[in-house]
Structure 1
Amino acid sequence: MSTITFVDPHLSIQTVTVTSLSSTQNPTVTSASQSFPDTTGTLISTLETGGNPPVQPFPTSVPTISSATLQPLNSTVPFGNETATGPRSTVTETITLPLTTFETVVVTHTVTTVPVQTTALLTSVTVVNTTITSNGTAITTSSAGTTVVTSTGSTLVETTFSASSTITGTVATTITTGGSLTNLPTATSDCLLSMGCYGQDIFQPIALGQPPSNIEQRSGHPVPRLGVSNSTGPLETNKFYQNFVLGSQGDPSFVMPYSLTWSQGSGNAQSWGMAISHVDGSQKVFGPANTAIPGSPNSYYINPLGIQSLILSASEFGSSTLLTSDSLLPFSANIHLQPSAGSSSVLTLPVVQGMGFVTGQYANLQPALQSSVFFRNVAAAGEPKPGVFKYKVTLEDGKVWLIYAIPTNGVAPNFQLISSTLLEGISNWYGDIQIAKLPDASFESIYDEAAGAYPTAGHISGYAHDAKAQYSLSWSKAGAYSSNATLLMFSLPHHVDSFDSTTRGNVTEMQLQTTTKGNATAVVADYWVLEEDEMPTTLDFSPWRPGNTTQSLVALSSVAISAIQSVAAIEASQNMSAQTNLNSMYYSGKALSKFATLVYTMHDLADQQDLAKSALLELESCFEVFSSNQQQYPLIYDTDWKGVVSSASYVTGDSGEDFGNSYYNDHHFHYGYFLHAAAIIGYLDPTWLVENQDYINTLARDVSNPSSLDQYFPVFRSFDWYHGHSWAKGLFESGDGKDEESSSEDAMFAYGLKMWGKTIGDASMEARGNLMLSVLARSLQSYFLMTSDNVNQPAEFIDNKVTGIMFENKVDHVTYFGTDLSYIEGIHMIPIMPFSTLTRTPQFVEEEWTAYFADGAVRQASDISGGWKGIVYANLAIINPTAAYNFFTQSDFDASWIDGGASRTWYIALSAMLGGVS
């Protein structure tokens, strides 16, 4: 069976299943199904065979769908007030099949559709008409009015049902679509926001074309695509599995709650398989206490590496074993181990974030399950399902693990305990082996019920309406029981906090400790629905507080305006070119954002329009250096990994140049400032957008392309929708995994994306920025910005207040550039912008100020020098705007207290509008 999969930016995965194909001279499709969301979009097809990744070129004997375009007559979907009778819209689907007997065969289905809501009952679907044409001439028309009555009552994210239309002649089809609804809500307030209650699609592509022509396209990236096979499209660079394709390939992948490491002959077992580790909270190692900080928190904690609890291996593996990978996607990758290059025998591990089991797919190998912790006891535990052979293992550390072996041909693996490190099966075995840690015997049945199914890839989709959004994390799955077993996936604490009621009902009591994110909780579901009900839709360029519009803030008094005007006149006279045209995308972006904020403040807040217009012209000239790609180190488009990177490392040979931008480090930190600056410039001068929009969109696509339709950039390079924040580390091998230092600059990118989307009228981008900000606020407050009641980080660590550098395997209260406490805390403040009041709660700021910066505290603010002093006092405006205002307006203010990416003008306006002066 072959499957043609439509990859789209919308809610559901579009699939057509072809069950019968004859030769190309007389192709016949006997059955096909097509599901699609009720929205507009262009779908691009790829061909898959037997569930494997696409293989190029397509087999010439298989007619493939080349494209399909969905165009609803009513693309604006209201919330509530729909009628219970009649279709909401009519959708025409056109599919082109390239055949040898006809130049073109077009199959057109016209069907009635209605959105499915959680409060509604789906009762039927009606096929209005089906027409087949050859070269524009109708050759068959049939099936008008075909109706199928379905079962009623559904709470799925999106529910579709099938109606068949059989056509005499060349093609027979099954149409999958929505249908008529009963029990529809009658008012907007009753309309539960669900994937079927459509609003703004959050994940529409930004653009699909090539990067601007003035950005050179270049191959030969310094980092090779090690072991990556069957990939011509964009490759992820900042994901959890990156160690498998970098350097030695021997550093861990932190899948949460497990970690996986190619053992490469190491450990007591001297295995060449894939080692599985899970570390309990009691095994964490803590650094020395910092007695200068109230509460004397430990300076760091780390999870031990190299514990090979169980190892998925094979007797054929040895020093010639080869690790390759494919399908490097946002939530998953396929990792393959072969005895040697070219061998047809292979162990494949679909590695997916949050997977409940570690699964190995064996093809013609003798399974060898090993342990460097040593087997204490191995017991056969029956068959929880037909054809599923279960074993219960106790290791010498007292930990209990479960093993499920599911043979493809029904042949039992017949495991024999050969030694304290080796459990060996039979030769030439085909099937799946699944491994999971059992934290308590009472949870064993949860694993039993889920065995036989596992995720192969993750997907994200979502819609927004006003300040509400609902998004879904869902998974493709495989396994002998994939059709009748629900997936077992582990969620992080911030997921559980935002689950909708249905998903919350699938949460179990089983938990496993993660390395740096508290306890992971097992959820029995093929998809999760998560909600954000208070997105920062009113957040704009002006000072802002959550829950309030800008009008509810303090109006600028004449005193404040006078103070702003006098400082703004001086700052606007600075040499913008000297501060912006630097050898660093990071520092250049900060300066562009700084001057854009200054111009905005003058123009919109301080009644200095004439001065602002003059400054805006100079700022536009400075920005043109970058949009024309004439800066000191121009950008290049890397055709190997597919992304826009600085040419700095190519020129100097230094991988750390500009913080490693050429190696995909920190792109969200760097390009977020450009997005913000461009959003303000375009807001003040819409004509500027004509020449610059493509360039800024390219930066947005590089960091945060939301759609696999875009074949020039990977999907969400930096932002990790599982963890709820970005990872800064790019193509560098790391024993402790990816890391993130400046959580506030992560939020700055989301803010820049939101505001750029608003400026250019990209509603999907604006909604996506709002959702990212909401998710970031939730995750940062859960893991990075620790109030005294934080339950996710160790009690011995939370008095540090901020994490410092968050790795996947450790957290270290430090920075990459120094140990001064104002740096460590301040890197999670910078830049102080309107979104800062969203991510940094008053409780957190109060606790942090008291611990570090209050008079007499360990790093009292009055003693801080340089730009960090201004950052700390601007942060104070969140809880004490009067004190901040007085600081920035003092007569003997030292200009050195302002960071190169900030303006005193903005800080005065921010403090005043947050309540610093009336």
Structure 2
Amino acid sequence: MVITTPVVSGIAQSLASHKAPSSGYIPGPSSIETASGQATEAPLLSSEIPTPTSLLPVAPTLPPQPIQSPENTTMKVSNIFAKPIGTDHPPAQIPQRQDHPAPRTGIKGTGPFATNKFYSNFYLGNQASATYLFPYSVTWAGGKGSSSSWGLAISHVPAEQRVFGNPSEATGAARYYISPVGIQSVSISAKELGPGTVLTTDNLTDTSVRVNLSPDGQGEPTIRFPLVQGSAFVTAEFHGATPLIQTGIYFQTVTRSTQDPKPGVTKYKLHLNDDSVWRLYAYHTQGDALELDVVNHGLAQSTKPFYGIIQVAKDPGNGEALYDAASGAYPTGTQLSGSVNGKTGTYTFTFNKAGLKNSTLAMYALPHHVASFDDSTRGKTTDVQLDTTTKGIATAVLANSWTMVEDSLPVDIGFLPWVPNVGSVSALSPDTRTVIHNIARQEISQNMIQQSNQDSMYFSGKALAKFAQIVLAVHDILGDRTLARSGLEQLKIAFARFAENKQQYPLVYETAWGGVVSSASFQTGDAGVDFGNSYYNDHHFHYGYFILTAAVIGHLDHGWIAENKDYVNMLVRDVANPSTEDKHFPVFRAFDWYHGHSWAHGLFESADGKDQESSSEDTMHTYALKMWGTVSGDADLAARSNLMLAVQTRALQAYYLYTKDNTVQPAEFIGNKAAGILFENKIDHVTYFGTNIEYIQGIHMMPLLPHTPMVRTPDFVREEWETYFSNGRAEAVDGGWRGVLLANYATIDPRGAYAFFSQPDFDPGWLDGGASLTWYLCYSAVLGGL
């Protein structure tokens, strides 16, 4: 489903790159109506392998090359986030423009600006959709809703308030679960705000933003809200305005503590009608302490102007002592640092702190953080916990920094098929090599230039990556260097169309937001064309395929790298720039280091927050970054991507891919085995292009790459297979999805998968348009020892 306007509903139209023409997307409930539109014409799955335009001469079959480790597993790289990939303007063949159809509503300062981050709703649409901080969500009330506040409304939804969809007849699992939106438990506002209030944002980073409210948008803001992912408090800065504390739930009681938790800090207990308890702390930096006068059940007002900060936190029942200890201090941002030493990587969140210097911050960690904490950080965790919307239970940590450790970095995964606890494999018997070689001769002789010449960066990239895998397999597994060389030359020519920016919709560098986008929406006026690439949807998917192709070409022809490095690095910088020194691109447009995975959703408003559909294409982009860093000699990029891939693996196995022992997601939902579409506020076991089970599960399988078994473990694949596809059910699936399912099956039964792909009457229509029979045969054969 592709929208035709830049405003999207709570269904969160991420326009994920796999949306093919199809009917049947029936999303879970949302607060506002879905925009409608037409899907792109390019199909996801090909109906056949195109007939070769010519066959190349048969070259002598050479023995496979010795397996080389993709990088030194003893590599030691410090401070992997410090060095930019580049700082130059994008290459000269990429034209520049200063406009973008999505307005930067209320944004202050100069770019580049983040486009796929948690706070996007503050500058999109009418600025009234929720922002999800985890564990809280905040919304600009704008004089509406149950509190009628003009300030920032804070909500926390406990697990018991989740709404579950009807259970599946096949599995008994709920099709979706969602948390209600629009709840205004506590709002922080000011008497000076009212109709005409203007919301602006500044200090936009990859982990934080500052929201400002003022009566008319002029002068100093009346209230500033520094918002950081994982904050235990929602904090408001006052500089002489008169605070209002409002609620749409109604107060049962508002009680001031008779004993201040620390000098200068006043404490209130807000007991609401839903029996929730919220703690309010006010640290005054000048003037008098905060004195609240309860006007009615929905309003408590300060008796005079206030200078300082007001902080609000929900008490799960045992949080008072922790909140007392942390009150008066608050985060304003997060500094990310990390290092890699062999197969061990660490990354640290150092929180920028303001307020009381001697107070330690309280921050909430997600399950994948807690599972990877180092000993020091683990010792600072507490038993204070709050439910999150889609990431299980968050745990409060009393510390100014966290360090996480990943001790199984995939440094030994390269271009060849890979087996856990074994490593890369490439051996084939002579008979098997002959069978696959015959197929490879046909596929490598297809017209790569024509097939990749599409009006979509996504489908063009998939075509290029498909042929890159064929050429790689021919060279590194089949050992036919002559045939591989012929295919490589064609692949270079096909890639050159894009490196020279001569494709149907050339890329442009636009300075309004700061990034490289397709010109398709500029030329057509359609925000949804090419899945919203012009609006920053799915860039890590789209560009990931190009980066992967470049890595393969560079692997086979190292001399090619120098001429194309600036172009490929431009794509890398667009999706995964690690440094603020690069003034042309935001830091980590796609990947969210707090959540441990990427968000595909760009410049489209959404009541349910950011979302992502294909977890496998997310890891594809990270694998592509790793391999490009390896072949291009960027040790920082390779090390950083190895760490990213390990973090993704941990996060996806908690939030996206569910074995029966998953304790993070609700028990009612894990029977689905895969998320479907994961939003910040809901998970919907569905796709944007249809409700067939092969779509929903399969979109988390493609493309099949060497790192796939690392993320999609044999235990997970076995459970998923038995749930949905065993006993001939996979073989009954029509079209290219059958090939996707059987390629995935190679993880647990490579010989069975090979038997399917090598059958004499194999129908080419069983191949996804981005997959090749050559790669599937090589992959399953070498894993099966055939």
Per the normalisation by structure 1, the TM-score is 0.77
Summarize the alignment of residues 133-282 of structure 1 with structure 2, pairs less than 5 Å apart: 199=78, 201-229=80-108, 231-282=109-160
Assess, with a 3 A threshold, how the Cα gap between structure 1 residues 364 and 200 changes in structure 2: closer, same or farther: closer
Distance 1:861 1:893 in 2: 15
Assess, with a 3 A threshold, how the Cα gap between structure 1 residues 383 and 572 changes in structure 2: closer, same or farther: same
Q: Which deviations, in whole Å up to 9, do the C-alpha atoms of 1:635-665 show, x marking residues without a partner? A: 0001110000000000111101000000000
Give the conservation status (yes or no) of the 8 Å contact 1:842–1:879: yes
| Equivalent in the alignment of 1:425 | 302
Give the conservation status (yes or no) of the 8 Å contact 1:203–1:707: yes
Q: In the alignment, residue 876 of structure 1 is paired with which amino acid?
A: Y
Distance 1:560 1:302 in 2: 50
1:319 aligns with 2:195: yes
Distance 1:651 1:198 in 2: 44
Which residue, out of 487, 493, 507, partners 1:615? Answer: 487
Give the conservation status (yes or no) of the 8 Å contact 2:427–2:477: no
| Equivalent in the alignment of 2:204 | 328
Which residue, out of 387, 390, 410, partners 2:267? Answer: 390
Distance 2:585 2:220 in 1: 32
| Equivalent in the alignment of 1:898 | 767
Distance 2:753 2:554 in 1: 30
Give the conservation status (yes or no) of the 8 Å contact 1:488–1:525: yes
1:484 aligns with 2:358: yes
Distance 2:194 2:111 in 1: 32
Distance 1:274 1:314 in 2: 10
Distance 1:646 1:683 in 2: 27
Summarize the alignment of residues 462-611 of structure 1 with structure 2, pairs less than 5 Å apart: 462-479=338-355, 481=356, 483-550=357-424, 553=425, 555-611=427-483
How far did residue 578 of structure 1 move?
1.7
| Equivalent in the alignment of 2:571 | 699
Assess, with a 3 A threshold, how the Cα gap between structure 1 residues 567 and 674 changes in structure 2: closer, same or farther: same
Distance 1:811 1:732 in 2: 18
Distance 1:849 1:253 in 2: 36
Please, which runs of 5 or more residues in structure 1 have no aligned partner?
A: 1-192
Summarize the alignment of residues 784-863 of structure 1 with structure 2, pairs less than 5 Å apart: 784-855=656-727, 860-863=729-732
Give the conservation status (yes or no) of the 8 Å contact 2:137–2:155: yes
Q: Which deviations, in whole Å up to 9, do the C-alpha atoms of 1:186-232 show, x marking residues without a partner? A: xxxxxxx9xxx974635421111110011011011000111011x22
Assess, with a 3 A threshold, how the Cα gap between structure 1 residues 388 and 200 changes in structure 2: closer, same or farther: closer
Q: In the alignment, residue 435 of structure 1 is paired with which amino acid?
A: V
Q: Which deviations, in whole Å up to 9, do the C-alpha atoms of 1:397-456 show, x marking residues without a partner? A: 00000000111214012101000000100333211000000001x331100000000000
| Equivalent in the alignment of 1:663 | 535
Q: In the alignment, residue 248 of structure 1 is paired with which amino acid?
A: N
How far did residue 687 of structure 1 move?
1.6
| Equivalent in the alignment of 1:348 | 224
Distance 2:146 2:456 in 1: 47
Give the conservation status (yes or no) of the 8 Å contact 1:536–1:546: no
Please, which runs of 5 or more residues in structure 2 have no aligned partner?
A: 1-73
Bigger shift: residues 203-212 or 364-373: 203-212
Give the conservation status (yes or no) of the 8 Å contact 1:200–1:763: no
Bigger shift: residues 903-912 or 422-431: 422-431
How far did residue 560 of structure 1 move?
1.8
Q: In the alignment, residue 299 of structure 1 is paired with which amino acid?
A: R
Q: In the alignment, residue 90 of structure 2 is paired with which amino acid?
A: P
Give the conservation status (yes or no) of the 8 Å contact 2:547–2:624: yes
Assess, with a 3 A threshold, how the Cα gap between structure 1 residues 426 and 339 changes in structure 2: closer, same or farther: farther
Distance 2:205 2:221 in 1: 24
Greater percentage in strand = 1
Distance 1:875 1:268 in 2: 49
1:879 aligns with 2:748: yes
How far did residue 884 of structure 1 move?
0.3
Distance 1:342 1:762 in 2: 46
Instruction: Find the residue that maps to 2:754 and give its secondary structure.
Output: helix
Instruction: Find the residue that maps to 2:270 and give its secondary structure.
Output: strand
Give the conservation status (yes or no) of the 8 Å contact 2:540–2:600: yes
Q: In the alignment, residue 861 of structure 1 is paired with which amino acid?
A: A
How far did residue 546 of structure 1 move?
2.9
Distance 1:429 1:202 in 2: 40
Bigger shift: residues 255-264 or 539-548: 539-548
| Equivalent in the alignment of 1:689 | 561
Instruction: Find the residue that maps to 2:419 and give its secondary structure.
Output: coil
Distance 1:264 1:334 in 2: 17
Give the conservation status (yes or no) of the 8 Å contact 1:593–1:901: yes
Distance 1:218 1:335 in 2: 28
Distance 2:520 2:77 in 1: 45
Instruction: Find the residue that maps to 2:127 and give its secondary structure.
Output: coil
Instruction: Find the residue that maps to 1:682 and give its secondary structure.
Output: helix
Q: In the alignment, residue 336 of structure 2 is paired with which amino acid?
A: I
| Equivalent in the alignment of 1:716 | 588
Bigger shift: residues 368-377 or 408-417: 408-417
Q: In the alignment, residue 746 of structure 2 is paired with which amino acid?
A: A
Q: In the alignment, residue 451 of structure 2 is paired with which amino acid?
A: Q
Which residue, out of 631, 643, 666, partners 2:503? Answer: 631
Give the conservation status (yes or no) of the 8 Å contact 2:200–2:217: no
Instruction: Find the residue that maps to 1:222 and give its secondary structure.
Output: coil
How far did residue 668 of structure 1 move?
0.4
Q: Which deviations, in whole Å up to 9, do the C-alpha atoms of 1:770-810 show, x marking residues without a partner? A: 01110010000000001111111111111000010000000
Give the conservation status (yes or no) of the 8 Å contact 1:200–1:767: no
| Equivalent in the alignment of 1:450 | 326
Q: Which deviations, in whole Å up to 9, do the C-alpha atoms of 1:702-751 show, x marking residues without a partner? A: 00000111000000000000000000000000000000100000000000
Give the conservation status (yes or no) of the 8 Å contact 2:464–2:545: yes
Assess, with a 3 A threshold, how the Cα gap between structure 1 residues 466 and 629 changes in structure 2: closer, same or farther: same
1:781 aligns with 2:615: no
Q: Answer 1 or 2: higher relative contact order, Cα 8 Å, separation at least 6.
A: 2
Instruction: Find the residue that maps to 1:706 and give its secondary structure.
Output: coil
Q: In the alignment, residue 450 of structure 1 is paired with which amino acid?
A: A
Distance 2:283 2:303 in 1: 13
Q: Which deviations, in whole Å up to 9, do the C-alpha atoms of 1:647-701 show, x marking residues without a partner? A: 0000111101000000000000101111110001011111211211100000000
Bigger shift: residues 405-414 or 703-712: 405-414
1:414 aligns with 2:283: no
Q: Which deviations, in whole Å up to 9, do the C-alpha atoms of 1:838-891 show, x marking residues without a partner? A: 1101111000000000016xxx10111111111100000000101001001000
| Equivalent in the alignment of 2:609 | 737
Q: How many residues align?
A: 712
Instruction: Find the residue that maps to 2:312 and give its secondary structure.
Output: strand
Q: In the alignment, residue 524 of structure 1 is paired with which amino acid?
A: L
Q: Percent identity?
A: 52
How far did residue 557 of structure 1 move?
1.1
| Equivalent in the alignment of 2:69 | none
Distance 1:343 1:316 in 2: 13
| Equivalent in the alignment of 1:132 | none
Give the conservation status (yes or no) of the 8 Å contact 2:114–2:589: yes
How far did residue 261 of structure 1 move?
0.2
Which residue, out of 583, 607, 626, partners 1:754? Answer: 626
| Equivalent in the alignment of 2:782 | 913
Distance 2:193 2:770 in 1: 54
